[in-house]
Amino acid sequence: MSASDDPLVPPILALGVAVLAISTSAILVRWSDAPNVIKALYRVSFTVGALVPFAARRRASIGGIERRDGVVAVAAGVALAVHFVTWFESLDHTTVAASVTLVQAQPAFVAVGAWVLLDERVSRRGALGIALAMLGMVGLSFAPSIRAAVDPAVAATGAAVGTQYGNLLALVAAVAVAGYYLAGRSLRRRLGVLPYVTVVYTVCALVLLIAAVGRGTVLFTYPRHEWLLFAGMALGPGVFGHTVINWALGHVESHVVSVSLLGEPIGSAVLAVLLLAETPSVGTLLGGAVVLAGIYLTAADHRVDG
């Protein structure tokens, strides 16, 4: 990279800002009482709205997308829509710490998907990381049932079933976002960050709109504070979070980006303690630590060009 290509903002600093922004996502989702599909719809729609003025300058790049790339964009957008809806729903049933940790396990699923679908080799270190992350995910997901089995008082409340359901939804969200990353990998290599995210986010928003209309969900009559939360989800985690991360992929190795995202579960858990008075259990902390260790090994080994 030549000096003239140096970004105005240090990529590592941008990553730090992005991780902080993404860490607020679970808190904003929890504060909103709107249906989850609506939260997801307006988060993505407002993000697109914020980016359109900038992407318009590169409309030639968007208009010149080939049919094959269009199919990839649709697949990535659908996967992203599934991710948002299942993850937002998981936050209704389990703790912020557990949900965010399980969702952030996506590097393990990306590595497995790249191995199965793209024939990319996985080293021993990467395989160990995947195995460790999977072990932690199993422990974290089924810990509520184990606790209920040994403690009749916990079983009597029925909370364990709901918590496990939320954990499983978070795992589905992790698989979906891994599919989004895998589907969009080749597209990102041929498109700049603004055309890429504008196309994929637009597809995602359309899928969410269709889902909302199909369910008969109210689209507009929400109180002012809900619209402020929707805007916050878009500007914070959306623009300053995931969009900045997509930009950073063009300046630093992807494994650096993946490892930096391990800060999200920690940041979200701290914010949940401070703003929601939600303290994770010892089991969640132990299981989360195992998952994060596995993700670190996987992400540090799984070097993919941005």
Is 2 within a domain? Answer: no
Query: Does the predicted TM-score (pTM) go above 0.85?
Result: no
- Greatest Cα pair distance in the chain: 66
Total domains present in the chain = 1
Confidence (pLDDT) at 232: 95
Cβ-proximal residues to 223 (8 Å cutoff; 6+ apart), any chain? none
Burial 65-94 (b: 16+ CB within 10 A, else e): beeebeebbbbbbbbbbbbbbbbbbbbebb
Rounded to whole angstroms, the Cα distance separating 256 from 242 reads 15
Is 3 within a domain? Answer: no
Rounded to whole angstroms, the Cα distance separating 47 from 43 reads 6
Confidence (pLDDT) at 217: 95
Per the listing, tokens 């249906």 go with 35
Is 263 within a domain? Answer: yes
The alpha-carbon radius of gyration of the chain (Å, integer) is: 19
For 132, the domain range is 9-301
Candidates 252, 246, 261; CA nearest to 296 is 261
Residue 28 parent element (H or E)? helix 25-31
Is 210 within a domain? Answer: yes
Confidence (pLDDT) at 23: 92
Alpha-carbon torsion 77, 79, 80, 86, what sign? positive
Torsion of CA 283, 287, 288, 294, to 10 degrees: 170
DSSP 8-class letter at 280: P
Is 4 within a domain? Answer: no
Is 1 within a domain? Answer: no
Rounded to whole angstroms, the Cα distance separating 2 from 298 reads 30
Per the listing, tokens 């697109």 go with 48
Rounded to whole angstroms, the Cα distance separating 262 from 133 reads 12
Rounded to whole angstroms, the Cα distance separating 168 from 299 reads 22
Q: Do residues 47 and 201 touch, judged by C-beta distance below 8 A?
A: yes
Is 131 within a domain? Answer: yes
Confidence (pLDDT) at 14: 86
Is 207 within a domain? Answer: yes
Confidence (pLDDT) at 3: 41
Give, for all 306 residues of the chain, the pLDDT tens digit.
Answer: 444 456 777 888 888 899 899 999 999 999 999 999 999 999 999 988 888 777 666 554 555 566 776 788 888 899 999 999 999 999 998 889 888 888 888 777 877 777 777 666 767 777 787 788 778 777 776 665 555 544 555 444 444 566 888 889 999 999 998 888 887 766 766 766 777 788 889 999 999 999 999 999 999 999 999 999 999 999 999 889 887 887 877 677 666 676 777 788 888 988 999 999 988 877 778 888 888 888 777 766 654 433
